[in-house]
Chains A and B, each alone.
Chain A
Amino acid sequence: MIFATLVHSHNYDQLLLKAQASIFPKIVLLDKKLNEKLVDGKIIYTIAYEEEDYFTAQEIAKYMKINFKENFDKYNYKVNLIKFSNLSYDMNTTVIYALNSNENIQKVANIAKKKGIITFSYDINNLKNGLLFSLMLEKTTVLYLNKENLDNEKIDFIDSLLQMVNFID
């Protein structure tokens, strides 16, 4: 009975988490239509997590606070921690960064596609399920983008970024 009430978390590579938390917010700034995605003049950076990963989501938010202080460049920002189960079409956010989830990635993709939200994924495999960007620490640090998911009139990244990324079909 006691074990039923206890929670456990997915495994995360701390270095990869930090790399993504450092680089993804800067990617957001390269969207030419970013101003249309601001919420009350701010970038809303939503971290979507499963209940057991709350501690990890908190750690990422803390790291971003230390790294970026109050602003992403000239934009104010706010980090929202939201459970996958609480994500909805009514939410207002600029970005969704998805931690691991067995069941809810498609839900994130659907919401993002409809609302033109920029999505980042911890796990590269989620790009096949409709998320936009991921980042891997390979021989070099590689930014991955699913080109198919870019086909959204509300998202328009500068060409120089597209020259930096590796496309996944």
Chain B
Amino acid sequence: MLNKLFNTTLLFSSLICVVLNAQTENLLTSISNEMEHFNEVATTTKQNEHYQPYIISVFEGKELEKLGILNLKEALTLVPGVDMATDNANTQTPIFRGSNPLASGQSKLFIDGILVNNVFFDAYSEYLSFPVEMIKRVEVVRGPGSKVDGINAYAGSINVITYAEDFKGFESNDKIVFKYGSYNYKMGGFIKTYKTDNLKIFIDFYYQKDDKKLPAGPDGLSQGVFGANNISLSKSGDAPLWLKEYSIGLNLTYKDFFLKARTLEHTQGSAYGINLALPQDSDRMKLPSQYLELGYNKKINNFKIDIKAGIKYDAFNSKSKLIPNDLNISGVIFQDGGYGEHFAAQRTIYQSSYLKYSGIAQHTITAGYRFIKEQTIDMSSKLSNRLTGDVALVDYTDTLAFFNKDAKRYTYIFSLQDEFQLSRTVSFIYGFNYEQTSYKDAGFEPKMSMVYQVDAQNIFKAIYSRSHRNSSWQEMFTMNNLARVGTTSLNPEKVDTIEFAYIKKISSDSYLQSNIFYLLNKDQIYNSSADPKYRNVVDTDIYGFEFEYKGYISSADQLYFNYSYTTGKSYIADENKNKSLPNIANHLLKGYYIYNLNTSLSLNGVAKYVGSKDRVSGDTREKVKDYLTIDSSLQYKNQKYNYTLSLSIKNMFDTKVTFPSPPNTYVQDYEQERRSFYIAFKKEF
């Protein structure tokens, strides 16, 4: 009997132990799953950026709104080592660490992971006006960054994450936004999400316009771009830099499938004239951009599959007065001036497949390919009669095309990468891209990086990477043009990058980041008004350092600032000599300060200093002057009704800001916005 009782007790105790152990196991599993979930969110949202093997700065959309930042362009000017440049078409381009200002494609822009650089210029200036209220986060990687997606970033990559991004527990609110300001700026937009268990539909929309005109001139005629006999026809005046655009974005997720689509209809004034003659107010350039991507993501045991296919359309569409009245070209007099309509539409089709395998202890291996086909699908070229000077347009599409209408390029990229976690404190990523194109190949490009986390507060990184930029359509296929002559014999621009970084995590919310970099650029593509043909003519060695701090002075505020120093030399093959880097600000100092007067009201300031810039070889003008701009904003957030009202004043001391004009074009540099005012209203639901 006693034995039976003992056995029963033993069995019961064992059962309790089993149940308790099972409960503990479940709890530990649940904790592990939570940790993995937050790790995934932190990695995707770059919250753990400091532990990743690249140099990155992240700006939250809501923080940017607080600062009165209007759009993506203004956000990018806060990034360490990033300056802005423009050209006669006002194709504005962020310059990363002294990268080639003529090569727009040295940086890449991704919207929700989709590359949106246009094929024509390889630029993304049409997206720089993307309103900040549509942006959840901007992640800017300086240097080539990750190789996994097969896309070469060269000098830097910008990832704009919209509110389509969604994680359990971090859903975004629907909202409407209206803005009004200087230059008769008007903007309206909304964000809307519809969600069921398996389906999520996200839509964003905005419309914006302004009537911006800025003083410019004397224009390029003063420098003899149409011959000495036409110099007297040169004009000064207001350059049409107005904007009119709308965009609709759609993100649809169903189980493991997704669809991402956007149409952007961007129209802007003709700026400084594609032929360097000051255009009329109504002259315009359209840069539409549309994309559609379908994808499938699936995690199966130790495998993660990522398959995408997409189509992208972009175009260059200019309609403007190209030359002034009474211009005389080789005896042909254009009494009423000369007009032109140029149109080139490009289609890109791509498909990529990547497989990530984490079944080997301490290793995560990613392999895959990306195939891209870029093609011009439509082109037309109409000009006033070149033989008679008659103003009526003549179709020169077949006889004197401005562009090769059969332009086409195939690109194949294969990538392999291993992420090796040697220990809890040391990890390596190494791998390569191999790329072939239907023109000059970039070939094999390795990348290696190491992250050493000494402890929770101190992190070191070392990165080596080789990357390239393929020539843009403009550089390869432009023809019959005074300012630009393309050739398909160009080599890709190449860069070897070496970077070291140290990060001090002062607390969960404050850090110091410092890094040094050395960039060896080969075969940089340039042209000039004296020799408009694009050529691989410059090598540059660029080095410098960047320092970044984010933290606070008191519990009521937030302080961010960065300083970057960039220098180096360029070797110009034609002249067989070394020169200092032209058009590069050696010193950049930027920062912002947010003071929370209470939980509803904040007073904020943004300061940016851009140092002076040397001119290009042979340009005898004085250096481009340095400048300091100060912006200020006041934001009120009503917690009860969930609306926000912001007032901002930009360039409050009315500083003259100029971006360099190339020699023998506009005499004066391209002047930018002076003091301006904006008001924004946002309501979340």
Q: Which residues of A contact B (CB under 8 A)?
A: 3, 6-13, 15-16, 18-19, 22-23, 26-27, 29-30, 50, 52, 55, 63, 67, 73, 100, 102, 122-125, 136-144, 158, 160-161, 164, 166, 168
Contacts and interface: CB of A to CB of B under 8 A. Distances in A.
A3 B597 contact: yes
A12 B47 CA distance: 12
Which of A10, A63, A141 gathers the greatest number of chain B CB atoms within 10 Å? A141
Contact of A139 (B30, B427, B509, B555): B427
Nearest to A140: B39
B31 A27 contact: yes
B45 A15 contact: yes
26 contacts: A3-B597, A7-B598, A8-B597, A8-B599, A9-B555, A9-B596, A10-B555, A13-B509, A16-B47, A16-B508, A22-B34, A22-B38, A26-B27, A55-B599, A102-B555, A124-B508, A136-B456, A138-B48, A139-B51, A139-B453, A140-B39, A141-B35, A141-B38, A143-B35, A160-B28, A164-B32
B166 interface: no
Nearest to B551: A11
Contact of A144 (B30, B36, B456, B555): B456
B508 A136 contact: yes
A138 B24 contact: no
Contacts of A138: 48, 51, 453, 456
A166 B424 CA distance: 10
Contacts of B508: 12-13, 16, 122-124, 136
A139 B52 CA distance: 7
Contacts of A55: 599
A139 B169 CA distance: 21
A88 B51 CA distance: 39
B649 interface: no
A141 B24 contact: no
Interface string B85-113: 00000000000000000000000000000
Interface in B171-218: none
Interface of B: 23-24, 27-28, 30-32, 34-36, 38-39, 41-42, 45, 47-48, 51-52, 169-170, 424, 427, 451, 453, 456, 507-509, 552, 555-558, 596-599, 601
B27 A141 contact: no
A94 B56 CA distance: 41
Contact of B35 (A23, A30, A67): A23
Contacts of A141: 35-36, 38-39, 42
A124 B456 contact: yes
Contacts of A15: 38, 41-42, 45, 47, 170
Contacts of A168: 456
Given A16-B508, A136-B508, 16 more contacts: A6-B598, A7-B598, A13-B509, A16-B47, A18-B169, A27-B31, A29-B27, A52-B556, A67-B169, A137-B39, A137-B42, A139-B51, A139-B427, A141-B42, A158-B24, A164-B31
Contacts of A137: 38-39, 42, 47-48
A160 B27 CA distance: 11
B226 to A, nearest CB: 58
Q: 4 closest Cβ contacts across the A-B interface? A: A8-B556, A139-B51, A141-B35, A6-B598
B28 A73 contact: no
Nearest to A63: B169
A150 B42 CA distance: 29
Nearest to B48: A137
Contacts of B30: 26
Contacts of B32: 164
B508 to A, nearest CB: 6
Which of B45, B47, B451, B453 gathers the greatest number of chain A CB atoms within 10 Å? B47
A141 B47 CA distance: 11
Nearest to A143: B35
Which of A12, A19, A161 gathers the greatest number of chain B CB atoms within 10 Å? A19
A6 B596 CA distance: 10
A13 B27 CA distance: 26
Contacts of B456: 124, 136, 138, 142, 144, 166, 168
Contacts of A102: 555
Given A11-B558, A137-B47, A125 B28 contact: no
Given A15-B45, A15-B47, A124-B456, A8 B169 contact: no
Contacts of B47: 13, 15-16, 137
